[in-house]
Chain A
Amino acid sequence: MDALTTFAQLLAGGVLTGLVFALVAVGLTLIYGVMDVVNFAHGEFLMLAMYATLGLALLGLGPLLGLPLVVVAMFLFGIIVYRVFVRRLLAGPPEATVFGTFGLLVLLQGFAQSAFSSDFLSVPNPPFSGTIRFGGLAVAQANVVEGCGALILTALLFAFVEYTETGRAMRAVAEDRIAATLMGIDVQRVNGLAFGIGAGCVGAAGALLMLSYPVYPTAGVPFALTAFVVVALGGFGSISGALVGALLVGLLEVFGGFYLSPELKMVPVYLAYLAIVLLRPQGLLGRR
């Protein structure tokens, strides 16, 4: 296996890894952008979505079929969490959202451990378990499906935010909350929708991830951490930024792992974050 093929394989792996991160990050950046809220429980939302997908799969509804249901369920969950909890946090000082969503993280992890135990659970016989081979390269079918899912989700979300009325309202709130209120936009409703949609996105991510990962109470943590970096890198609130940031992170991680060392593969990622945020504080494609 010559160096060029290895490089190409790593490239493919990096892109697919990046797309998986985009899948998780896209919902997060929407919430950031509209509400300036750091949802530290984002990883736990992902974990819940994964458990929900597993549950449906055990009832006979595979991950892809169950995906729409999970998305809807997570959307509703997001709206409820906003109405009952996040709205109150927003009324307090900025720190309140930080440690409030953090409390949510602990609560949800505790809930998962009590309800589901800390066993690793996988979807039995998931679809797309094969390999796609082309030109000397090999990629897992599941990863390709996840990647496509990421692209579709990003495109849908982008279209929503750019071209729909509600999307425009969200951008207005993101840009200037007071002005948006003055223009007659119901900020609370927009916030709730944004939170719900963000949760729905993470629901889609969770469903797709069950094609290749087991779920356990802390399964969301590694994805969430990378997602935070991706979103900051790409620019808070920028959906296209999240995609670009994710791809960058994926490539850095995989190439770092091979040409530097697997143990240190996240170091280039974090260094890149520090560098970009130092030189361009609003992130690659961020607005503020």
Chain B
Amino acid sequence: MSDVVRAETISARPHLFALAAIVVVGLLAAAVLHDAVVLDLAFTLLLYAVLGQSWNWISGYAGNISFGHAIFFGCGAYASALLVTHGLSPWLAFPAGAAAAAVLALVTGFPTLALRGHYFSIATIAVAAIVEALVRTQDWLGRANGFELPIASGWGALQFGGKGPYIVLALALFTAVQLATIGLERSRLGYYLRALRANHAAAAAVGINERNWKLLAFACSAVMASCAGVLYAQYTLFVDPPSTIALPISIDIALVGVVGGIGTLWGPAVGALVYVALAKGVALQIGGSGKGYDLLIYGAIICLIAALRPYGIVGTIVDGLRRRRGAVEVGAA
């Protein structure tokens, strides 16, 4: 995808229809289904779709691949845990976590977004490692023990006995994120990001300030991930470093984005679908022996997708559609 840049912006209508359809299906499912397992899968799916899309903003659209995205997810999760254990409303975790995530993104992005390629990716690992080390050593952040959120019920406490309300919230977040991304595609920010990815030098020559626009994308991406973190904390009721900010979580988020298709609108959603289906499906079928066959299969599939469909699932489809339409292609080969 990075070597093909659209000259025209996408039309929003088909995507809005698709989004509306998903929302309707989701709401119906939440209202009608009572199978806790299926609803749990749906919630996980939506959460990962949001996380994948947030990652997509910086790694796909902006082109700076992040392997430390979990720290923003953690901002929301820890904000929630801290507020609740201090007797405050978890709803405050949305703005609080978002603020923390945005600040973290701006502070860490300012020096590193000027870097390209591997340097940035490793910088994200470095920053994430520093954050994790700090969390593990600070008492007020729970150290390794983390936090358990006390059981509560109701919209005020943002905790529910049934899964329905969680799905509704996750749908709302997903919708917001998708709408924002449609907006990104059609906005000046999106246009500049595409220009930067196509040709840094040319873009700079035209006066596009790479750092500032990427900082904006980075901060937005961090805020989205943080919101997902809040929902996660209120759902799982347990927050600790390994389950929220550790490297494997960052890797999972990146996987979702990449498998689906970097820099595409629906890539993360498809990636989340594949991820949840695979992780759950393989674990259920084969998992009992504890032998790691699920990892084996998962890895093989990623390798196959990488080797045969380098654009990710959605990327390949989009590319195919575009070639058939004979769209104008701009940018370096």
Q: Do chains A and B touch in the complex (CB under 8 A)?
A: yes
B255 near A217 with CB under 8 A, answer: no
- Residues in chain B near residue A135, CB distance under 8 A: none
Distance from A221 Cβ to chain B, minimum over Cβ atoms (Å)? 8
- Residues in chain A near residue B305, CB distance under 8 A: 103
B302 near A99 with CB under 8 A, answer: yes
B292 near A110 with CB under 8 A, answer: yes
A111 to B119, CA, bound (A): 30
B303 near A85 with CB under 8 A, answer: yes
B112 near A85 with CB under 8 A, answer: no
Point out the residue from B2, B3, B111, B292 that lies within 8 Å of A114, measured CB to CB: B292
A225 to B133, CA, bound (A): 15
Overall SS of chain A's interface? helix
The segment from A151-159, A201-209, A266-274 found at the interface with B is A266-274
Point out the residue from B112, B125, B255 that lies within 8 Å of A99, measured CB to CB: B255
A117 to B290, CA, bound (A): 9
A93 near B311 with CB under 8 A, answer: yes
A38 to B65, CA, bound (A): 12
CB nearest to B310 among chain A residues: A92
CB nearest to B298 among chain A residues: A106
Overall SS of chain B's interface? helix
Point out the residue from B126, B254, B295 that lies within 8 Å of A229, measured CB to CB: B126
Distance from B250 Cβ to chain A, minimum over Cβ atoms (Å)? 11
- Residues in chain B near residue A109, CB distance under 8 A: 292, 295, 299
- B37 interface residue, CB < 8 Å from A? no
A105, A108, A277 interface centre (most CB from chain B within 10 Å): A277
- Residues in chain A near residue B255, CB distance under 8 A: 99, 102
- A96 interface residue, CB < 8 Å from B? yes
* Binary contact track A228-263/B, C-beta < 8 Å → 1, others 0: 110010001000000000000000000000000101
* Binary contact track A102-136/B, C-beta < 8 Å → 1, others 0: 11111111111110011000000000000000000
Total cross-chain contacts (CB, 8 A):
149
- B28 interface residue, CB < 8 Å from A? no
A36, A232, A236 interface centre (most CB from chain B within 10 Å): A232
A100 to B299, CA, bound (A): 9
Point out the residue from B118, B127, B297, B300 that lies within 8 Å of A270, measured CB to CB: B127
A37 to B294, CA, bound (A): 27
A102 near B291 with CB under 8 A, answer: no
- Residues in chain A near residue B262, CB distance under 8 A: 93, 95
Distance from A72 Cβ to chain B, minimum over Cβ atoms (Å)? 25
- A183 interface residue, CB < 8 Å from B? no
* Binary contact track B113-125/A, C-beta < 8 Å → 1, others 0: 0110111011101
Given contacts A100-B306, A273-B122, A274-B123, contact A266 B133 (CB under 8 A): yes
Distance from A238 Cβ to chain B, minimum over Cβ atoms (Å)? 14
CB nearest to B261 among chain A residues: A95
Point out the residue from A91, A104, A281 that lies within 8 Å of B310, measured CB to CB: A91
A85 near B307 with CB under 8 A, answer: yes
Given contacts A114-B292, A217-B292, A281-B119, contact A99 B299 (CB under 8 A): no
- B1 interface residue, CB < 8 Å from A? yes
A232 near B118 with CB under 8 A, answer: yes
A232 near B295 with CB under 8 A, answer: no
Given contacts A103-B299, A106-B302, A270-B130, contact A93 B118 (CB under 8 A): no
Point out the residue from A38, A99, A102 that lies within 8 Å of B118, measured CB to CB: A38
Point out the residue from A99, A225, A263, A277 that lies within 8 Å of B137, measured CB to CB: A263
- Residues in chain A near residue B298, CB distance under 8 A: 106, 110
- Residues in chain B near residue A267, CB distance under 8 A: 129-130, 133-134
CB nearest to A99 among chain B residues: B258
- Residues in chain A near residue B292, CB distance under 8 A: 109-114, 118, 217
- Residues in chain B near residue A266, CB distance under 8 A: 129-130, 133
A88, A91, A92, A117 interface centre (most CB from chain B within 10 Å): A92
Point out the residue from B115, B125, B133, B295 that lies within 8 Å of A113, measured CB to CB: B295
- B88 interface residue, CB < 8 Å from A? no
CB nearest to A217 among chain B residues: B292
A228 to B126, CA, bound (A): 10
Given contacts A89-B310, A92-B310, contact A236 B118 (CB under 8 A): yes
Distance from B254 Cβ to chain A, minimum over Cβ atoms (Å)? 7
- A65 interface residue, CB < 8 Å from B? no
CB nearest to A232 among chain B residues: B122
Distance from B134 Cβ to chain A, minimum over Cβ atoms (Å)? 8
- A98 interface residue, CB < 8 Å from B? yes
- Residues in chain A near residue B130, CB distance under 8 A: 266-267, 270-271
- Residues in chain B near residue A271, CB distance under 8 A: 126, 130
5 contacts across the A-B interface (CB closer than 8 A) = A93-B262, A106-B302, A110-B294, A270-B127, A278-B112
Partner-B contacts on A (CB < 8 A): 32, 36, 38, 85, 88-89, 91-96, 98-100, 102-114, 117-118, 217, 225, 228-229, 232, 236, 261, 263-264, 266-267, 270-271, 273-274, 277-278, 281
Partner-A contacts on B (CB < 8 A): 1-3, 65, 111-112, 114-115, 117-119, 121-123, 125-127, 129-130, 133-134, 136-137, 247, 251, 254-255, 258-259, 262, 291-308, 310-311
For the complex with contacts A103-B305, A114-B296, 13 further pairs of A-B residues with Cβ separation under 8 Å are: A38-B118, A88-B307, A93-B1, A102-B251, A103-B303, A225-B247, A229-B125, A261-B137, A263-B133, A267-B133, A271-B126, A273-B123, A274-B127
